[in-house]
Structure 1
Amino acid sequence: MSFAVCAAALAVAGCPKPSAPAGDAGVTAAGSETAAEADAGPGPASFSLQYVLPDAGLEAIPLVGEEEGRPLIDPTSTLELRSTLALRNYRVRLFDEAERAMVSDDSAEESPNGLLYRISLPTPLKSGHKYTLVIDAQTGTSMTDSQGREVPDMRIPFQVSGEKEKPQPPPTKKQRRR
């Protein structure tokens, strides 16, 4: 009997409870950053789109897919696209609902903090009409950010609030009498 008691005592005392892994086991606490992550640099480029209000303020246009519906904006003649990183091999175009490129006077300001691309239209966007801002590669198949990472093409749909204007009927020609 003493052998059984000794064996049981040894089994209980000899097996320590499992403990949490040591700090050098590769596990980091939530929210802490490793040296490799700190050296990796900024994350991928992200975009924001704004339009100029009649009172000269700026209003954001939500970035949603076409399947999620088009956000409504007020009539405007100026759009501003911003990215968190500078872009290479890119082009920005505004299309109307017939997929025709809109005539505009564009300017781009690049800095280490990103890109500011301003689209100035000769006339305000038409009430009730749908538009899509497209950011894609100028040449080849992809554009890249300043870190050399590929940036996927983007389509940003939106619609101008208000009723769609009815087109003017063509003027009637007067018939000449002979």
Structure 2
Amino acid sequence: MRLARFGPIVLCASLILTGCPDKQPAGPLDSGTVADTVPDAGSEPAATSFTLRYQLGDAGLEPIAMTVDERPTIEPTSVIELRSSRPLRNYRIRLFDEADRAMISDDSVEESAEGIVYRITLPNPLKTGHRYTLVADAQTGAAFTDSLGRELEDLRFEFQVAGEKEKPTPPSKKDSKKRR
């Protein structure tokens, strides 16, 4: 019983007496350069980030600034690409029009150790003056994760296509008189 009372004290005393091993300061190497500092094993890796780009004619892919304060304006396009800095698990990516209808598209994904490249190819270019929303969320369940197992918040990103809003075509006029 006495040993059980003094167990924590003995453990603390042994840690104090043995101490931590001396750490070697970073110094010049044989080549004369200073050694890079190695992050602690317990340090948190950088958060998973996303970049969004769109194809602008034959000029290639142009970045879209992903800000929360304003809705960026892009040129009409039929190709949108979302990249992540880490591989993703249990995710789905969709493009919605301003009426919150999913856009018909031919999607492709390239997965690698550096992340994913998700390409949305639309049959027709996005309409001028209209707003669109790109959404990345969980395929099943409440959350999707990165390759480190960290849960990611749903991504909802709005943008608008430059130009005047196209007016809908008026419905054709039908004869109000019925023939009998």
Q: TM over 0.5, yes or no?
A: yes
CA distance in 1 between counterparts of 2:91 and 2:97 reads 20
CA RMSD of aligned residues (A): 2.2
Unaligned runs of 5+ in 1: 1-23, 26-31
Instruction: State the TM-score, normalizing by the size of structure 1.
Output: 0.76
Residue 62 (structure 1) aligned with residue 65 (structure 2): yes
Q: Does 1:89 align with 2:90?
A: yes
Structure 2 CA distance for aligned equivalents of residues 147 and 154 of structure 1: 18
Given that 1:51 and 1:61 are in contact with CA atoms closer than 8 Å, whether structure 2 keeps it comes out as: yes
List 4+ stretches of structure 1 deviating above 6 A. Answer: none
User: Which whole-Å CA distance do the structure 2 matches of 1:154 and 1:103 have between them?
Assistant: 20
* Offset, 1:173: 1.7
Residue 176 of structure 1 and its aligned partner are, at CA, apart by 5.2
Q: Deviations over 1:54-103 (max 9, x none)?
A: 124111111112xx221000000000000010000000010111111111
Q: Which moved more, 1:145-154 or 1:74-83?
A: 145-154
Match of 1:51 in 2: 54
Aligned length: 147
Listed as ranges, the matches of 1:105-120 within 5 Å are: 105-120=106-121
* Counterpart-to-counterpart distance in 1, 2:59 and 2:101: 27
Larger RCO, structures 1/2 (Cα 8 Å, 6+ apart): 1
| Aligned-partner Cα distance in 2 for 1:43–1:155 | 21
Look up the match of 2:122. 121
Partners in 2 of 1:72 and 1:160 — Cα distance?
A: 5
35 and 47 in structure 1: CA distance in 2 versus 1, 3 angstrom threshold: closer
Q: For residues 118 and 100 of structure 1, what CA distance do their matches in structure 2 show? A: 19
Structure 2: distance between partners of 1:135 and 1:86: 13
In structure 2, C-alpha distance between the alignment counterparts of 1:73 and 1:155, rounded to whole Å = 17
State the distance in 1 between where 2:106 and 2:89 align: 20
| Partner Cα separation in structure 2 for residue 177 and residue 150 of structure 1 | 65
Is residue 75 of structure 1 aligned with residue 85 of structure 2?
Answer: no
Are 1:135 and 2:136 counterparts? yes
TM-aligned CA deviation for residue 106 of structure 1: 0.5
Deviations 1:110-152 (A, max 9, x none): 0001100000001100000000100111111111101111111
Percent of aligned pairs with the same amino acid: 59
